[in-house]
Amino acid sequence: MKKKLLAGLLSAAAAALFINVNAEEAGQAISEEDWKLYEEGINPGEVFAEEVGGSLFEKPMGPKKLSCASCHVKDGDVEDRVATAAAYYPKYDKDAKTVINLEQRIQICQSKHQKVKPFSLKSEENTALTTYLYYLAQGTKINVDTTSPIAKKFHDYGRYVFTLKRGKRNLSCQVCHEFAVGKVLRMQWLKPLGFEYNGVKGTTAADHWPAFRMTKNKVQTLQQRFQGCMKQSKQKVLPLGSEEMVALELYVKALSNGAELKTPGLRR
Ligand code: HEC
Ligand code: HEC
């Protein structure tokens, strides 16, 4: 269903670019012109957010046939705190009694309020709803709490996970995203994840995830992007929604505090 939709909407030029993207995986670079074309064209991530995520948001479910919209749309608009929520997660949640991310808050509303079995964190449906909420929050400044006692605990733990060397190659996130910034690895620049590190300009990574990944042909969340880096650096992949992942997400997202969400992004 989604594939058909995207195929229908992608221009021939964009479709041709997918071929280049596959070539890129084999080691070639995407040219500046190709990037421009892509960026001026349709971002399939926005289509996914609106069409797949937006429909799920409005779909009645469970014994009382409630949709997310039944509770969160007021006078035709998604209520502000839900439409901007993406900028503030991960954060402490009263229902979970701990710090959780937006994906997990969606699951709580599904089980507690819609009374249905929540979509798993790996599912396309959870990613679609998450991407829809990030899409609604476009332009909102990221403002993740790092100072309340529990948020600080998660922030410190996130920094610890970031610096922890793991796996066969004894690598940590820090090795590539701090110590080696400005260097090139497999034809890709290693960049800081926040505004800058040691004078090297960063990408404020958290302001454009979830993103549509051209090499994967689908939208991935920030935690799924982390998993990609873990796989590539031969670390055991941490599960989505684990305390370690939420802490890492909070830490990395806080590095972009103050940056406006440009979600969903479009990445290689
Ligand atoms: C029966 C009503 C109901 C339904 C249906 C419902 N929610 Fe909620 N939702 C709530 C309530 C109540 C809260 C506030 C919990 C609290 O006190 O913080 C909430 C909180 C949230 C928040 C957090 C807002 C914040 O300020 O942090 C998000 C995001 C959210 N809901 C999304 C959804 C999504 C997505 C769906 C559909 C999958 C959904 N909700 C379905 C009632 C509902
Ligand atoms: C072996 C080096 C290496 C390690 C280790 C590594 N990464 Fe990466 N990471 C990269 C490269 C290369 C990219 C692609 C650069 C780009 O997208 O601009 C990347 C991209 C990312 C991005 C997307 C950046 C953006 O602006 O979109 C995030 C987020 C990220 N890494 C987080 C992590 C985290 C968290 C860890 C630790 C679990 C980690 N990385 C470990 C090399 C690494």
Q: Which domains does the chain have, with CATH numbers?
A: 1-42 (no CATH), 149-267 (1.10.760.10)
Question: Could you tell me how many helices (H) and strands (E) the chain has, helices first?
Answer: 13, 11
Residue whose CA is at the smallest distance from ligand 2 atom 42: 176
CA distance 68 to 57: 5
**Residues lining ligand 2, Cβ inside 6 A:** 171, 173, 175-177, 185, 188, 190-191, 193, 203, 205, 225-226, 229-230, 233, 248, 252, 267
pLDDT at 138: 98
> Which amino acid appears at position 170 of this protein?
N
Beta strands of 113-242 (E only): which ranges? 184-185, 188-189, 196-197, 200-201, 211-213, 218-220
Q: Which ligand is nearest to the CA of 69?
A: 1
d(CA 37, CA 248): 34
- The alpha carbon of 114 and the centre of ligand 1 are apart by a number of angstroms equal to 10
Confidence of residue 26 (pLDDT cuts 50, 70, 90): very low
pLDDT digits (tens, 9 = 90+) for 133-155: 999 999 999 999 999 999 999 99
Interatomic CA distance for residues 28 and 11, integer angstroms: 22
Q: Binning pLDDT at 50, 70 and 90, where does residue 41 land?
A: confident
Instruction: Decide: 137 in ligand 1 pocket, CB within 6 A.
Output: no
Q: Are the beta carbons of 165 and 171 closer than 8 angstroms?
A: yes
- Whose C-alpha lies nearest to ligand 1, atom 10? 109
The answer to whether the CB of 70 is under 6 A from ligand 1 is: yes
Helix, coil or strand: residue 144: coil
Q: How far is the CA of 87 from the centre of ligand 2 (A)?
A: 21
Evaluate: CB of 171 within 6 angstroms of ligand 1: no
Q: Please give the pLDDT value at position 42.
A: 80
